[in-house]
Amino acid sequence: MPTKPAPARDRLIRAAARLFMARSYEAVGVAEICAAAKVQKGGFYHSFASKSDLVIAVIDHHAAALWDLLDRFEGRKRSPVNKIRATADAVGDIQGRLYAFFGRIVGCPLGNLAVELATIDAAAGQHVASVFEQWERRVARHCQDAADAGQLDLDVDPARLAHQIIATMQGMIVLAKASGTGPAEIPRAMHKVIDSGLRQHAA
Protein backbone atom coordinates (compact mmCIF):
# COMPACT_ATOMS: atom_id res chain seq x y z
CA MET A 1 0.00 0.00 0.00
CA PRO A 2 1.43 3.42 -0.89
CA THR A 3 2.12 5.63 2.12
CA LYS A 4 -0.11 8.65 2.48
CA PRO A 5 1.69 11.83 1.36
CA ALA A 6 2.55 14.40 4.05
CA PRO A 7 0.02 17.24 4.44
CA ALA A 8 0.50 20.14 2.00
CA ARG A 9 1.62 22.50 4.77
CA ASP A 10 4.46 20.16 5.80
CA ARG A 11 5.51 19.58 2.20
CA LEU A 12 5.67 23.34 1.63
CA ILE A 13 7.80 23.87 4.75
CA ARG A 14 10.24 21.11 3.80
CA ALA A 15 10.51 22.22 0.18
CA ALA A 16 11.05 25.85 1.23
CA ALA A 17 13.64 24.88 3.84
CA ARG A 18 15.57 22.94 1.19
CA LEU A 19 15.30 25.61 -1.53
CA PHE A 20 16.23 28.49 0.82
CA MET A 21 19.36 26.55 1.83
CA ALA A 22 20.23 25.58 -1.74
CA ARG A 23 20.00 29.21 -2.88
CA SER A 24 18.58 31.91 -0.56
CA TYR A 25 15.26 33.23 0.76
CA GLU A 26 14.93 36.05 -1.76
CA ALA A 27 16.14 33.98 -4.70
CA VAL A 28 13.26 31.49 -4.38
CA GLY A 29 9.66 32.41 -5.20
CA VAL A 30 6.32 30.96 -4.07
CA ALA A 31 5.68 29.33 -7.48
CA GLU A 32 8.93 27.37 -7.27
CA ILE A 33 8.21 26.27 -3.71
CA CYS A 34 4.73 25.10 -4.75
CA ALA A 35 6.16 23.15 -7.69
CA ALA A 36 8.77 21.45 -5.50
CA ALA A 37 6.15 20.62 -2.86
CA LYS A 38 3.59 19.50 -5.47
CA VAL A 39 1.04 21.93 -4.05
CA GLN A 40 -1.27 24.24 -6.06
CA LYS A 41 -0.83 27.96 -5.51
CA GLY A 42 -4.29 28.07 -3.89
CA GLY A 43 -3.12 25.39 -1.48
CA PHE A 44 -0.16 27.56 -0.55
CA TYR A 45 -2.37 30.48 0.44
CA HIS A 46 -4.63 28.11 2.32
CA SER A 47 -1.63 27.26 4.56
CA PHE A 48 0.28 30.56 4.61
CA ALA A 49 -0.67 34.22 4.24
CA SER A 50 2.64 34.97 2.47
CA LYS A 51 6.21 33.81 1.89
CA SER A 52 7.10 35.80 5.02
CA ASP A 53 4.56 33.73 6.96
CA LEU A 54 6.06 30.53 5.50
CA VAL A 55 9.61 31.44 6.53
CA ILE A 56 8.48 31.76 10.15
CA ALA A 57 7.31 28.13 9.91
CA VAL A 58 10.62 27.17 8.24
CA ILE A 59 12.51 28.75 11.16
CA ASP A 60 10.34 26.80 13.63
CA HIS A 61 11.01 23.62 11.62
CA HIS A 62 14.80 24.14 11.82
CA ALA A 63 14.58 25.06 15.52
CA ALA A 64 12.55 21.94 16.38
CA ALA A 65 15.11 19.75 14.59
CA LEU A 66 17.92 21.53 16.43
CA TRP A 67 16.37 21.10 19.91
CA ASP A 68 15.78 17.39 19.16
CA LEU A 69 19.37 16.91 18.05
CA LEU A 70 20.75 18.82 21.05
CA ASP A 71 18.58 16.71 23.39
CA ARG A 72 20.05 13.60 21.81
CA PHE A 73 23.68 14.77 21.87
CA GLU A 74 23.44 16.18 25.40
CA GLY A 75 21.47 13.19 26.68
CA ARG A 76 24.47 10.94 26.35
CA LYS A 77 26.68 13.27 28.39
CA ARG A 78 27.06 13.61 32.12
CA SER A 79 29.49 16.45 32.84
CA PRO A 80 28.54 20.06 32.09
CA VAL A 81 31.63 20.41 29.88
CA ASN A 82 30.51 17.47 27.77
CA LYS A 83 27.05 19.03 27.49
CA ILE A 84 28.75 22.18 26.15
CA ARG A 85 30.71 20.00 23.73
CA ALA A 86 27.45 18.44 22.56
CA THR A 87 26.60 21.71 20.77
CA ALA A 88 29.81 21.51 18.76
CA ASP A 89 29.17 17.85 17.96
CA ALA A 90 25.56 18.55 16.97
CA VAL A 91 26.70 21.34 14.63
CA GLY A 92 29.31 19.00 13.16
CA ASP A 93 26.58 16.42 12.60
CA ILE A 94 24.19 18.92 10.93
CA GLN A 95 26.90 20.41 8.72
CA GLY A 96 28.18 16.96 7.75
CA ARG A 97 24.69 15.88 6.68
CA LEU A 98 24.01 19.13 4.80
CA TYR A 99 27.38 18.82 3.07
CA ALA A 100 26.56 15.26 2.00
CA PHE A 101 23.11 16.30 0.73
CA PHE A 102 24.00 19.52 -1.11
CA GLY A 103 27.59 18.62 -2.06
CA ARG A 104 28.86 21.88 -0.59
CA ILE A 105 28.61 24.02 2.55
CA VAL A 106 25.33 25.88 2.16
CA GLY A 107 25.62 27.66 5.51
CA CYS A 108 23.78 27.41 8.80
CA PRO A 109 20.04 26.96 8.08
CA LEU A 110 19.25 29.51 10.79
CA GLY A 111 22.30 31.76 10.27
CA ASN A 112 21.56 32.18 6.55
CA LEU A 113 18.03 33.33 7.35
CA ALA A 114 19.29 35.59 10.17
CA VAL A 115 21.71 37.36 7.81
CA GLU A 116 19.19 37.70 5.01
CA LEU A 117 16.02 38.51 6.97
CA ALA A 118 17.37 40.99 9.55
CA THR A 119 17.37 43.83 7.01
CA ILE A 120 14.37 42.85 4.84
CA ASP A 121 11.73 41.39 7.19
CA ALA A 122 11.75 42.64 10.79
CA ALA A 123 9.25 40.10 12.16
CA ALA A 124 10.94 37.08 10.58
CA GLY A 125 14.35 38.48 11.50
CA GLN A 126 13.30 38.78 15.14
CA HIS A 127 11.90 35.26 15.04
CA VAL A 128 15.20 33.72 13.95
CA ALA A 129 17.06 35.95 16.43
CA SER A 130 14.92 34.53 19.24
CA VAL A 131 15.96 30.99 18.26
CA PHE A 132 19.61 32.02 18.46
CA GLU A 133 19.00 33.58 21.89
CA GLN A 134 17.34 30.37 23.08
CA TRP A 135 20.26 28.29 21.76
CA GLU A 136 22.78 30.59 23.41
CA ARG A 137 20.91 30.51 26.75
CA ARG A 138 20.96 26.72 26.59
CA VAL A 139 24.75 26.65 26.08
CA ALA A 140 25.18 29.39 28.71
CA ARG A 141 23.32 27.21 31.25
CA HIS A 142 25.81 24.38 30.67
CA CYS A 143 28.68 26.89 30.92
CA GLN A 144 27.27 28.13 34.23
CA ASP A 145 26.98 24.53 35.47
CA ALA A 146 30.59 23.94 34.42
CA ALA A 147 31.66 27.10 36.29
CA ASP A 148 29.74 25.94 39.39
CA ALA A 149 31.50 22.57 39.15
CA GLY A 150 34.88 24.35 39.03
CA GLN A 151 35.55 23.24 35.45
CA LEU A 152 35.98 26.72 33.94
CA ASP A 153 38.85 29.16 34.35
CA LEU A 154 37.94 31.59 37.12
CA ASP A 155 38.23 34.60 34.79
CA VAL A 156 35.81 33.13 32.23
CA ASP A 157 32.29 34.56 32.17
CA PRO A 158 29.93 31.63 31.34
CA ALA A 159 27.48 33.74 29.29
CA ARG A 160 30.32 35.28 27.31
CA LEU A 161 31.85 31.86 26.62
CA ALA A 162 28.49 30.66 25.29
CA HIS A 163 28.26 33.70 23.00
CA GLN A 164 31.81 33.05 21.79
CA ILE A 165 30.99 29.39 21.00
CA ILE A 166 27.92 30.34 18.94
CA ALA A 167 29.78 33.21 17.23
CA THR A 168 32.68 30.92 16.30
CA MET A 169 30.23 28.46 14.81
CA GLN A 170 28.56 31.14 12.68
CA GLY A 171 31.86 32.66 11.57
CA MET A 172 33.44 29.32 10.67
CA ILE A 173 30.34 28.37 8.67
CA VAL A 174 30.37 31.72 6.80
CA LEU A 175 34.04 31.26 5.87
CA ALA A 176 33.54 27.61 4.88
CA LYS A 177 30.54 28.56 2.76
CA ALA A 178 32.47 31.38 1.10
CA SER A 179 35.64 29.40 0.45
CA GLY A 180 33.96 26.15 -0.55
CA THR A 181 35.81 24.00 1.97
CA GLY A 182 34.41 21.06 3.92
CA PRO A 183 32.70 21.02 7.32
CA ALA A 184 35.43 19.42 9.47
CA GLU A 185 36.96 22.65 10.76
CA ILE A 186 33.65 23.99 12.10
CA PRO A 187 33.20 21.74 15.18
CA ARG A 188 36.99 21.65 15.66
CA ALA A 189 37.14 25.45 16.05
CA MET A 190 34.17 25.33 18.45
CA HIS A 191 35.93 22.71 20.60
CA LYS A 192 39.02 24.94 20.66
CA VAL A 193 36.97 27.83 22.01
CA ILE A 194 35.51 25.51 24.66
CA ASP A 195 39.04 24.34 25.53
CA SER A 196 40.12 27.96 25.96
CA GLY A 197 37.53 28.44 28.72
CA LEU A 198 38.42 25.32 30.67
CA ARG A 199 40.38 25.37 33.88
CA GLN A 200 44.11 24.96 33.25
CA HIS A 201 43.20 24.57 29.58
CA ALA A 202 42.65 20.89 30.13
CA ALA A 203 39.55 18.86 29.35
Q: From CA 172, how far away is CA 189, in angstroms rounded?
A: 8
Closest approach of Cβ 121 to a second copy, in Å?
Answer: 9
Q: From CA 7, how far away is CA 166, in angstroms rounded?
A: 34
Which residue, 40 or 134, is less far from a second copy as judged by CB?
Answer: 134
Closest approach of Cβ 12 to a second copy, in Å?
Answer: 20
Q: From CA 172, how far away is CA 188, in angstroms rounded?
A: 10
Binding of a second copy by 107 (CB under 8 A): yes
Q: Which long-range contacts (CB under 8 A, 24 or more apart) does 198-201 make?
A: 198/81, 198/151, 198/152, 198/153, 199/150, 199/151, 199/152, 199/153, 199/154, 200/153, 201/153
**Total binding residues for a second copy by CB under 8 A?**
44
Binding of a second copy by 63 (CB under 8 A): no
CB neighbours of residue 105 within 10 Å: 22
Binding of a second copy by 163 (CB under 8 A): yes
Binding of a second copy by 111 (CB under 8 A): yes
Binding of a second copy by 183 (CB under 8 A): no
- Directed axis angle between helix 185-197 and helix 158-179, to 10°? 160
Applying CB under 8 A, which part among 5-13, 74-82, 89-97, 115-123 lies near a second copy?
A: 115-123
Binding of a second copy by 125 (CB under 8 A): yes
Binding of a second copy by 133 (CB under 8 A): yes
Contact present, 17 and 61 (Cβ < 8 Å) = yes
Binding of a second copy by 151 (CB under 8 A): no
Phi/psi of residue 107, nearest 5 degrees:
105, 180
User: Under the rule (CB under 8 A), what is the footprint of a second copy?
Assistant: 21-27, 104-107, 111-112, 114-116, 118-120, 125-126, 128-129, 132-133, 163-164, 166-172, 174-175, 177-180, 185, 189, 192, 196
